[in-house]
Chain A
Amino acid sequence: MAVIVPESLESALAALTAYPDAAVLAGGTDLMVEVNDGRRPLTRVVAVGRVPELTGIRVDGATVVIGAATTFAQLERDPVAELVPALAYAARTVGSPQIRNAATIGGNVATASPAGDALPVLVALGASVEIAGGNRRRLVPIADYFTGPKRSVLDAGELVVAVQVPVLRGAQDYLKVGVRNAMVIAVASLAIAVDLEARRVGIGLGSVGPTPLAAPEACSWVASRARWRSDGVEVADEDVVEFGERVAGAARPIDDHRGTARYRRHAVSVMARRALRRCTR
């Protein structure tokens, strides 16, 4: 088995073009599970950890550009913790310290699991995914990125270069239900982001549908009911409860060995209520 360790985006893309059978390797925390399970034969690996374009966190005006090779351990800390707290909270729920030291946001996005913990946050914030392949570059809004369970618009030979995350003024949070306190795949999760400038509320849901989901109807409804001020937002108690119901209505959960559809929908409504209360007054 050959391992290619390109030192630039250009050579990484060239390697992927030259060897269409090559697997992209970042932290390996998804890839190696598949390999060890015998689900993915490896002939060639392109390790992207040293590609400069994929590393580092850059603040660009009202956007944070997070390189695909950024680990969850890095996302837990500043500047992300300060600028995008929901992403830092989500990062803290991933696996264990060992996993967070290896696993990357690019791998999370590329795997596109409905349970990927970074993904509901990206949905709630309206982030975009920077993709490069051959000599094509594209910026895909997260709403257009997922096409099915573990499926996305990312083509073979393409790389996730970075995610662009808007820096918002307003409270955010990430809530994840699992049956143990670490190393757990979400049974249901929810990200919330309040945008005081645009007077919008964003929601992202994980593990309650074939892809991470938004709840646009519930969000515009609550934004219209809320009392917006420049330094915060208020939502009446009965509206918080109704918001929970409406967000749960956006979920499309199934029964599986991790939980029932009924429980998942219930958990979403509870999390939506609690999250909204924490982010409003």
Chain B
Amino acid sequence: MSVEVGTRTAGGIGQRAIRPDGVAKVRGEFAFAGDLWAEGMLWGQALRSPHPSARIRGIDVGPALLITGVHAVLTADDVPVNRYGLEHRDQAVLAGDVVRYAGEPVAIVAADHPDTARRACAAIVVDYEVLAPLVDPGLSQSVERPIHPDGNVFRDLVIRRGNPDSRGPVVVEGDYEIGMQDQAFMGPEAGLASPAADGGVDLVVSTQWLHNDRDQVADCLGLAPELVRLTLGGVGGAFGAREDVSLHIHACLLAVRTGRPVKIVYSRTESFLGHVHRHPARIWMRHTARPNGEIVSVESRILLDGGAYRSSSYHVTANAACFAAGPYRVPNALVHAIAVRTNNPPCGAMRGFGVVQSCFAHEAQMDLLASACGLDPVEVRLRNALAPGDELLTGQRIEGALPVAEVIRACAALPLPAPAVDDVLARPGGAGRTAGARDVRRGVGFAVGFKNLMYAEGYMDGSVARCRIDGGVVTIACAAAEVGQGFVTLVQQIARTVLDVDDVIVAPADTDMGSAGSTSASRQTMMSGGAVEKVCRAARAELERRAGGDEVDIAALTAREPVDVTEEYHHRLTHPLDADGQGDAHVSFACAAHRAVVDVDPELGLVRVVHLATSQDVGRVLNPLQVTGQIEGGIAQGVGLAVMEELIVEGGQVRNASFTDYLIPTALDAPTVDAVLIEEPEPGAPFGAKGVGEPPTISSTPAIVAAIRDATDAACTRVPVRPRDLVP
């Protein structure tokens, strides 16, 4: 993939600038949060409920306190304000009288060694009255008593557009199911909390949003927000799973109680139990169309299992509903989306945020429509493609760039890969030598998706950045969480370009400055990139004022008095959805198309994803290397959901909470990727760039599943597609 745009500043906008932390990471020298250490620190450990639903009759911590090396054992009674939550505080820091999912923390221990802490947890005696768990989301609304005082429905959203009764002569309909995917980042949750002399606490932690965490920690500890200071630790991936608080409050409670620094690192199993997952979904959809393939109406019912606590279920529901029909013109629609509470593991944010689920369904529908109308899958999508000026299901008119037809055409025009080579290792099953050349069939599938960028529904979003130039040395500070996506590279590129300098120092992200918002919703390039651009332009203006028309010599102009400016960036206002799900709720959109080529061994049900062609609407490429990274990584996650990734939950218990059995694609499962980037600058975004993180994950999965259907004639209405779903 080669793209040439941008300025001529070395390492500036549009260049393949190298990440400042890249070499250290490749060499294994980068300090992740799990590597944190402090003199005299203790190790924290949570005791988690083994039951998905139970009443706690009593907890005896006595036996744990008797163990030498144990410094504190805390339960619900020790938490000043025992309620937290990302958007709505419906979750206990430590369960008091009820546990609602298997894995819910009930007690925490601080000890001088992680083994001691684990043994102490095992010594705590919890008297549970085990209850029958509510595990079927389909029954959540009909149970006699809700399993939480806030009720069992997180959100019930209806979108009505046009005349939902109008119908076209061609009707296609289907039921679809999406399994529970996990973010499966490599660096488990980790943090180090240190008590401070002023009665506050300092926490270094791997997270996606420092300020939101800070507020939750402060509230639960009963401290003023300024007494709780957070600094970003090295983050080993996030994908949404670090939006919710994990060990933050636990570590801070233990640090304040013991007066010692307390470190917590999750094991892999604890990580799987201790963070939210992608919502499993059941979706029914009916499309009607004219014989030429033009969509007349879309109806859908979407049921999302939110698990035990709300997390971001409210907004995931909105996304699933608003984008339920995909990037197509739909004059009439009735979409009903519900997220409910169950005793399953809590679900929340994951790359693609509600749209992944809908896209799997609407793209299967588009293929059904194509075959019902005798059209090519690409053609039916082109005939219905949304364009600027068109309206979404919510009635919102698309005002920015949204080149749907362009991404479809560019993707479809990419050359197909060469036919399969005669090598057993390249076939489905690989080194398992299961398939002979004649056992394999090739299939091709196409899918398109789109999603909103930034937060929605009237949320007042902003990001703050500070630029200090002292003796010519440029330092940019912004609290945006670098989680691996490469924001730190962009900071340098933007500053280099605007200030025309070579070296830019990126300060650590912390809560001493204003919030940058969350690293999610494909928003940091626009929001914090926007803030960095704005603050650099302000600094530049100050330098030019000081130069008074002479050439700008940065070192000389800041030798005696540094330039120090802070700016905040906001996107345009959005509005809540009304009772019919109508309103200008979204800031901006991005689309992508994927064409997958798979080789399938239908008799054994084994699949090899051979090739992914993609075209993505990126606004403007700020760093081709990083855009490629997002595309390839996002596709890998799409491959995972298509053919292997699923947290298997039975009776409220996760059966595969480890990398032994939660399988994610390895290098040998990752397809070759060819990408074309479509650059149509987004008005109002810094340099015209859009977020690029989510689209690769959205339509790659349905493209792969369409290719499997093409190779096998199996219906494949559920992901991940398991071998047993394909065999006769």
Contact = CB atoms under 8 A, between A and B. Distances in A.
A and B held together in a complex? yes
A262 B605 CA distance: 13
B663 interface: yes
Interface in B570-621: 603-606, 608
A6 interface: no
B440 to A, nearest CB: 12
Contacts of B724: 259-260, 262-263
Nearest to B654: A257
Interface string A168-202: 00000111111111111111010000000000000
A270 B604 contact: yes
Contact of B429 (A33, A177, A263, A266): A177
Given A176-B432, A270-B604, A181 B439 contact: no
Contact of A182 (B269, B431, B433, B660): B431
B669 A180 contact: yes
A89 B433 CA distance: 8
A70 interface: no
A274 B668 contact: no
Interface in B646-664: 648, 650, 655-656, 660-661, 663
A263 B663 contact: no
B439 A93 contact: no
A175 B643 contact: no
B362 interface: no
A258 interface: yes
A92 B431 contact: yes
Interface residues of A, number: 36
B434 A179 contact: no
Nearest to A36: B267
B665 A177 contact: no
A266 B432 contact: no
B722 interface: yes
B430 interface: yes
Contact of B434 (A36, A96, A177): A177
Nearest to A190: B434
A263 B604 CA distance: 9
A42 to B, nearest CB: 11
B333 interface: no
B118 interface: yes
B648 A182 contact: no
Interface string B251-274: 000000000000000010100000
Interface string A259-279: 110110011001100100010
B432 A177 contact: yes
A182 B436 contact: no
B469 to A, nearest CB: 47
A61 interface: no
A38 interface: yes
A93 B434 CA distance: 11
A255 B608 CA distance: 24
B50 interface: no
B433 A176 contact: yes
A184 B603 CA distance: 20
Nearest to A91: B431
A278 B430 CA distance: 17
A132 B133 CA distance: 51
Nearest to B658: A37
A181 B723 contact: no
Interface string B699-728: 000000000000000000000001110010
A33 B661 CA distance: 13
Interface string B414-437: 000000000000000111111010
A267 B436 CA distance: 15
A256 to B, nearest CB: 8
A245 B71 CA distance: 62
Contacts of A177: 429, 432, 434, 604, 606, 723
Interface string A84-112: 00000100110010000000000000000
**Which of B430, B433, B606, B644 has the most A CB atoms < 10 Å from its CB?**
B433
A93 B723 contact: no
A45 to B, nearest CB: 16
B666 interface: yes
Nearest to A256: B655
A175 B434 contact: yes
Contacts of A38: 118
Contacts of B429: 175-178, 181
B655 A278 contact: no
A260 B665 CA distance: 22
A178 B432 contact: yes
B668 A185 contact: no
Contacts of A93: 431-433
A180 B604 contact: no
Contacts of B723: 177, 179, 187, 259, 263, 267
Nearest to A92: B431
B727 A263 contact: yes
Nearest to B724: A263
B666 A183 contact: yes
A271 B667 CA distance: 26
Nearest to B434: A175
A208 to B, nearest CB: 14
Contacts of B668: 180-182
Contacts of B608: 181
A262 B727 CA distance: 11
A270 B118 contact: no
Nearest to B666: A182
Contacts of A178: 429, 432
A278 B727 contact: no
Contacts of B604: 177, 267, 270-271
Nearest to B118: A38
Contacts of B669: 180-182
Contact of A96 (B436, B663, B666, B727): B666
B656 A179 contact: no
Nearest to B655: A257
B648 A257 contact: yes
Contact of A175 (B433, B605, B660, B727): B433
B434 A274 contact: yes
Contact of B643 (A36, A179, A182, A258): A179
Interface string B66-87: 0000000000000000000000
Contact of A257 (B439, B656, B667): B656
A250 B667 CA distance: 35
Given A259-B723, A271-B434, A180 B644 contact: yes
A259 B430 CA distance: 19
**Which of B436, B439, B603, B608 has the most A CB atoms < 10 Å from its CB?**
B603
Interface string A236-267: 00000000000000000000011110110011
Nearest to B426: A181
Contacts of A257: 648, 650, 655-656, 661
A268 B456 CA distance: 52
B656 A181 contact: no
A174 B433 CA distance: 7
B644 A179 contact: yes
Contacts of B603: 270
A93 B425 CA distance: 10
Given A180-B669, A182-B669, A184-B663, A266 B727 contact: yes
Interface in A1-41: 33, 36-38
Interface of A: 33, 36-38, 89, 92-93, 96, 173-187, 189, 257-260, 262-263, 266-267, 270-271, 274, 278
Given A177-B434, A181-B608, 16 more contacts: A37-B267, A37-B269, A96-B666, A175-B434, A176-B431, A176-B432, A177-B432, A181-B429, A181-B430, A181-B669, A182-B667, A182-B668, A182-B669, A185-B660, A258-B661, A266-B727
19 contacts: A38-B118, A93-B432, A174-B433, A176-B429, A176-B433, A177-B432, A177-B606, A180-B665, A181-B430, A182-B667, A184-B663, A185-B660, A186-B432, A257-B648, A257-B661, A271-B434, A274-B434, A274-B439, A278-B436
Which 3 A-B pairs rank lowest in CB-CB distance, beginning with the nearest? A181-B430, A176-B432, A181-B668
